[in-house]
Every structure is written in structure tokens, then in C-alpha cells.
Amino acid sequence: AKWLLDLVEDKPVYLLAWTTTPWTLLANTALAVAADAEYAIVEVDNEYLILASVRLEQSGLADAQVIAKVKGSDLVALRYEPLFNPFDFGIAVARMDVLREGGEPSSDVIWKKGGVLNYPVIATDFVSMEDGTGIVHMAPAYGEVDYEAGKANVLDFVHTVDLQGNITGNYPFSGKFVKDADPLILDDLKSRGLLYRSEKIRHTYPFCWRCETPLLYYAKETWYIRTTAVKEGLIAGNNEINWY
């Protein structure tokens, strides 16, 4: 956006996003803001950070110089450079732009090779001002809310984890279970000057009640059978079976 370029001149600008699952950053394809919320552009160490104004103090930036304040809607459609470009690590990319009859987004994706990736800022109604930075990282492959936002905004779709929960591709941490990869991903970001802050927090997370291991939200192709359509036939067949 020209207004942002005029404001920051030639200094680096960063959207300060947050997540509780660093492993999903590999599959990031968008950042979400609240359209009506106020966002501050602050100068820190000769570079600019963008985050929600109400989260400045909690983010340790209460004393930072505020260059400008804008609405979240002003940030929508900005494009950013991803932390991990999937094409650099041998990861396939799809685009969620197949439409059903009537124009509603479908759950289908079109896989593409090379080309330009989107990485837009989008507006959603679930961005909270109660925690984080007011800018939420989006990975459509690893969350229902993210997936629905991906369909609505025609986002790119990236899978960087296999069905065993291990990182794929050619990353330095490929082959690692996602939770084991978390600290390695943070170290990588820190080494490149892309990590603002990390800390441990206590929050709810789904676990398997049988094996007590963490569960992963994972979008995958699945076949479903509409059993109600064959209910009578199933019952009739069941009546022909001798159960012991």
C-alpha cells in the first residue's frame, strides 16, 4: 500500500503475529486482523512493527514510539513475505479456489507448481484483543477456523506434516514430530532475526484420551458414506445375518 510505503520510507516493516503452535508457521498462508480494531505502527530499533494498539503494553511496547494508528481494515489486502516459503523447501502448494454451484467455496483445492504466492492480510471476526498481538497467523491445513477462512478468502493451502505428525519437505527439522520441531523452529526464526519474543503459557489443548498424546488438527481428503440413503438395505441385510 502506498500510504504505508510513504510512512515507513525504506525501513523494514513487520506484522507482529503470534501463535501457540510454532510448527504450523511452516504452513502459514495469511495473517488475520480485526477490521474495526485500531492498530499501531511503532518504531523499534530502526524498524517498524504493526500490532493492535490495545496489545502494546502486554507486548512490551508501551514505551515504543507510535508512528501512526490505523484501522484493521486499512491493513487488509497488504501482502507480506512469509517466514518459510514452501517452494524453497520442496513443499507443494494448492489454492482453495474451486467453487460449488451457486458460488460457494468448496473444500476442493487446485494444486499448483511455482508461481506467485498470495500471503495476504485478511479480516475475520474471530481475532481477539484479549491475548496475543491482535494479528493471528493462519494455516488452513491445521485448523477448522483457518480452513473456513481459507475458503472464504481464496487462500493458498500448504501441508507440511505427514499423517504420522512429522515435518515433511527439506526443512532443517524435517522428519521431526511437530512438537519436537517447535523449539527448533523458534531457534531458526531467532537466528534470522524474525522472532520477537517466545514464552511458555498454560492453555487448553486436545489430547488423545487413550494414549495421552497431543492431537493435531489436520485437513485431509476423506470419503464419506451417506448411510441414511441405504439405511433400509442395511437393516434388511443385517436381518439375514446369524449373530452369535
At the topology level, CATH places domain 2-239 in Isoleucyl-tRNA Synthetase; domain 2 (3.90.740)
More confident position, 176 or 106: 176
Exposure of 205 in the CB half-sphere (CA atoms within 13 A): 12
Model pTM?
A: 0.84
Length of the chain in terms of residues written = 244
* pLDDT, tens only, 145-195: 999 999 889 899 999 999 999 999 999 999 999 999 999 999 999 999 999
Rounded to an integer, what distance in angstroms lies between the CA atom of residue 189 and that of residue 206?
26
Q: Grid coordinates standing for 29?
A: 498462508
pLDDT at 201: 82
pLDDT at 233: 93
Report the first-to-last Cα separation within the chain, whole angstroms: 72
Torsion angle in degrees (nearest 10) through CA of 75, 49, 59, 53? -40
Q: Which amino acid is at 203?
A: H
Q: How confident is the model at residue 99 (pLDDT cuts 50, 70, 90)?
A: very low
In the chain, where the domains are located: 2-239
Exposure of 134 in the CB half-sphere (CA atoms within 13 A): 25
pLDDT at 161: 96
Rounded to an integer, what distance in angstroms lies between the CA atom of residue 14 and that of residue 51?
9
Q: What is the average pLDDT score of the chain?
A: 89
Residue 27 predicted with pLDDT over 60: yes
Q: How confident is the model at residue 100 (pLDDT cuts 50, 70, 90)?
A: very low
Distance of CA 42 to the CA centre of its chain: 24
Instruction: Report, as an integer, the average pLDDT of 59-71.
Output: 93
